[in-house]
Amino acid sequence: MGRDVSEGAFTRDDRVRYRQKVRRCLDVFALMLDDFGFDADRPMTGLEIELNLVDSAAEPAMRNEEILADIADPLFQTELGQFNLELNAEPRLIEGTGFADYEHDLRGSLSRADERAARSDAKIVLVGILPTLTEGHLVEDNLSTNERYRVLNDQIVGARGEDIELDIRGVEQLRTHTDSIAPEAACTSLQFHLQVAPDSFADYWNASQAIAGVQVAVGANSPFLYGRQLWAETRIALFQQATDTRPDELKAQGVRPRVWFGERWITSIFDLFEENVRYFPPLLPICEDEDPVEVLHAGGVPQLGELRLHNGTVYRWNRPVYDIMNGRPHLRVENRVLPAGPTVVDMLANAAFYFGLVRGLAEADRPIWSQLTFSSAEENFHAAARRGLDAVLHWPGLGDVPVTKLVLDQLLPTAATGLDGFGVAPTQRDRLLGIIEQRCRTGRNGAAWQTEAVWAAERHHGMDRTAALHHMVQRYAELQRTNQPVHTWPTT
């Protein structure tokens, strides 16, 4: 939900009008899918990276407003916590040297932002969950000052009607409560956008769901929260729990969570928008002046503002997106499963693996989703979040298989074929997929490096957990700036 929102007290009439308007938008969207000209000639891609700000002691730095003002770059925006920023890369094609262009631009943007942050005694860290965060940091007072975050917090906590419970059991266990959505700010992600045609959207979304577990296993980078080692990608569990509007009774009734994997393969993007409207009450019932029916009949492009806003408050791991660029509407899959970091080149390796693999599977003669049950895809997702590169996943034709073997034997060749379909330069393809290969061969991704580094600090240097985490973050920040892939990092 990137738009600014100032309303906070919504009336019953607001909700009735909004519900009617959302359904009107949904009807118009259905008409558009039948015969409207969507922009899909050359599939653009996009990246969003959520960032952490830390001070010289590796503590979270609650200074995003002053740093953002100093950066003065529209590609950077606020995020939920005062220690967060978001960087939106310029959309582009990945054919040829597109990935190299991404790398050049991202490194340049991050370097300039780091220079500005240094003026505020802060620096940027790319990590799924900042390991030095404590419960005292993740409180309502540390939400960003933009009013939209306060409104969203009030609506989610108000809908639940009680404190939010966090209960994550991994290598160690965390059980606590929060009276705000501030813990969500700990979840800093890497998001990929892929523009697709209406008639192929379902194939790409289904393929994205099928590989979500593989992505998380290979890219996990969030093993610590509140000083405890939990899941390899703890961000998955934390994000789901920290935004849960359901008290226990509604969970027991099977009411769906707003952070949602989904429950079935789809045949059209319409299935997802329709589910959002049918299953989820509005959090932000704000109506626009546009009548989408009138705009459509006049030959214009409807903004569908209410439908898009509602879609932004249902947090699917693969989200459907309707957007307008240069007067033409388009559709995108927004892939939201991965954490930020550890380096720019690691994130681009994750991007190459995703874009290539999803295309290779979406265009395969026999769809993967015709062979894999949806429940197995969801089970793979959570198994991968728990175990990372040590996960065993279920895959058609192989049964239960170590994720590293699955990637090395089957999925990397498929990803390479998909990147060839995009026209990616072979040198770019081989460099980036080679990083994924080496992670699997060494057993080291961001989560593995973090846990090894903390273990080494505790065992070999006699540090307690708090000191070890701070030491690790300091070292992590140094190594991040080398842009060397994480599987090459030393742990001591």
| Total Cβ atoms within 10 A of residue 326 | 6
196 close to 208: Cβ distance less than 8 angstroms: no
The dihedral formed by the CA atoms of 385, 390, 393 and 396, expressed in degrees to the nearest 10: 140
Whether pTM exceeds 0.85 = yes
Q: Would you say 94 and 432 are in contact if contact means Cβ atoms under 8 Å apart?
A: no
Distance CA(222)–CA(388), nearest Å, equals: 10
Distance of alpha carbon 307 from alpha carbon 114, whole angstroms: 37
- Residue 314 is predicted with a pLDDT of 95
Instruction: Please give the Cα distance from 28 to 322 (Å, whole number).
Output: 12
Contact in structure between 234 and 224 (CB atoms under 8 Å): yes
> Can you give the pLDDT of all 492 residues of the chain as single tens digits?
444 455 557 888 999 999 999 999 999 999 999 988 888 888 899 999 999 999 999 999 999 999 999 999 999 999 999 999 999 999 999 999 999 999 999 999 999 999 999 999 999 999 999 999 999 999 999 999 988 898 889 988 888 889 999 999 999 999 999 999 999 999 999 999 999 999 999 999 999 999 999 999 999 999 999 999 999 999 999 999 999 999 889 999 999 999 999 999 999 999 999 999 999 999 899 999 999 999 999 999 999 999 999 999 999 999 999 999 988 999 999 999 999 999 999 999 999 999 999 999 999 999 999 999 999 999 999 999 999 999 999 999 999 999 999 999 999 999 999 999 999 999 999 999 999 999 999 999 999 999 999 999 999 999 999 999 999 999 999 999 999 999 999 987
**Closest to 418 measured CA to CA, from 369, 371, 485, 351:** 351
Beta strands in 37-142 (DSSP E): 45-54, 76-78, 84-88, 123-125
In this predicted structure, what is the pLDDT of residue 46? 97
H helix intervals, 392-445: 403-406, 412-422, 426-442
**Amino acid occupying residue 390:** D
Separation between Cα atoms, residue 49 and residue 192, nearest integer Å: 9
Indicate the SS3 state at residue 186.
Answer: helix
Which three-class secondary structure state does DSSP give residue 413?
A: helix
Q: From 230, 229, 237, select the one nearest 457 (Cα to Cα).
A: 229
In this predicted model, what pLDDT tens digit does every residue of 197-234 receive, in sequence order? 999 999 999 999 999 999 999 999 999 999 999 999 99
Instruction: Report pLDDT for 170.
Output: 97
- Per residue in 144-190, pLDDT tens? 998 889 888 998 888 888 999 999 999 999 999 999 999 999 999 99
